[in-house]
Amino acid sequence: MEMGKVKVEEKVPLSSMTSFRTGGPARYFAAPSDREEAQEVIAASEKSHEPLLVLGNGTNILISDEGFSGVVLSTQNLNKITVEGEKIVCGAGTRLQTVIKTALEHSLAGMEFLAGVPGSAGGAVILNAGLKEEWISRVLEEVEVLGLADNQPQKIHKQDIDFKYRGSGLEKVLILSITLNLKKGDKKEIQAKIAENMKKRMESQPLEYPSAGSVFKNPPGMFAGQMIEKCGLKGYGIGGARVSEKHANFIVNAGGAKAEDIYRLIGFVREKVKKVYNVELETEIRIIGKFG
């Protein structure tokens, strides 16, 4: 497969690129570093009739042990970041923690609530990452995207994005960059909030094992983790996959887990919660490839 300036690799293992540390190879793998290169990847995928998977920091995805039989477009090299007054403009592949560090260096407040979240800037916008009352959509100004269908660039203001709980409606575009509108603050206060949020995360989440964050969305008026815990599933495992003892809405790779183990455990948890609560849990993570 030819893509002009973009380096294309074949049979690239994806396990090292996902936070679960599972997943088979990509048939083709490309990591464009700018808009033109990204357009080349999309065009080549379309021309060769190969399916396309956009992969950010791999923190909210489960890829099958068979891998992905198509083109994986990694945003890892779309990572330029600039500060313009109270605004930060960064590539989709920029790590959230890099954005937070940059904001702190320039005494810009508004991103502290995402301290410790391992995802990328683009992925955070797609999932509208956040906590109970704070979401990245609140500080977002606009996104620059490429349409996956027409391969055309476009800038979308946040008021034209359909943000909701754990969603944005941006699944059919490739985010190239995002613009965040922050506010000047006191550096020491910003640093203190970052430290406080990091402490809470370390106390409540199983950071000692590979995971993909919260597996299930919270049903309206309920908490998935509490439901799973009350079903007695903390510590339950299949193969190398376990329901976390620390937070029941986390499934961890406790050692040597296959993607299939995690997939089967997700199914088991959903089945148990459905039986006890008559609630169908919806996964927050993306499930890619063939399972079962």
Compute the average pLDDT of residues 161-187. Answer: 95
Confidence band of 89 (pLDDT split at 50, 70, 90): very high
* Position 135 pLDDT exceeds 80: yes
* Position 5 pLDDT exceeds 90: no
pTM: 0.93
Among the listed residues 37, 40, 112, 284, the single catalytic one is: 284
Q: Is 286 a catalytic residue?
A: no
What's residue 100's pLDDT?
Answer: 98
- Give the span between the Cα atoms of 243 and 235, in whole angstroms: 5
What's residue 1's pLDDT?
Answer: 73
* Position 56 pLDDT exceeds 90: yes
Compute the average pLDDT of residues 181-206. Answer: 96
Q: Is 177 a catalytic residue?
A: no
Which pLDDT tens digit goes with each residue over 229-282?
999 999 999 999 999 999 999 999 999 999 999 999 999 999 999 999 999 999
Burial string for 94-126 (b: 16+ CB within 10 Å, else e) reads bbbbebbebbbeebbbbbbbbbbbbbbbbbbbb
What's residue 171's pLDDT?
Answer: 87
Compute the average pLDDT of residues 155-172. Answer: 94
- Give the span between the Cα atoms of 34 and 175, in whole angstroms: 11
Q: Which domains does the chain have, with CATH numbers?
A: 8-74 (3.30.43.10), 81-190 (3.30.465.10), 206-288 (3.90.78.10)
What's residue 230's pLDDT?
Answer: 97
* Region of residue 151 (phi > 0: left; psi between -120 and 50: alpha; otherwise: beta): left
Q: Is 166 a catalytic residue?
A: yes
Among the listed residues 33, 45, 211, 214, the single catalytic one is: 214
Which pLDDT tens digit goes with each residue over 244-253?
999 999 999 9
Among the listed residues 15, 74, 144, 166, the single catalytic one is: 166
The 3-class SS string of 265-280 reads HHHHHHHHHHHHHCCC
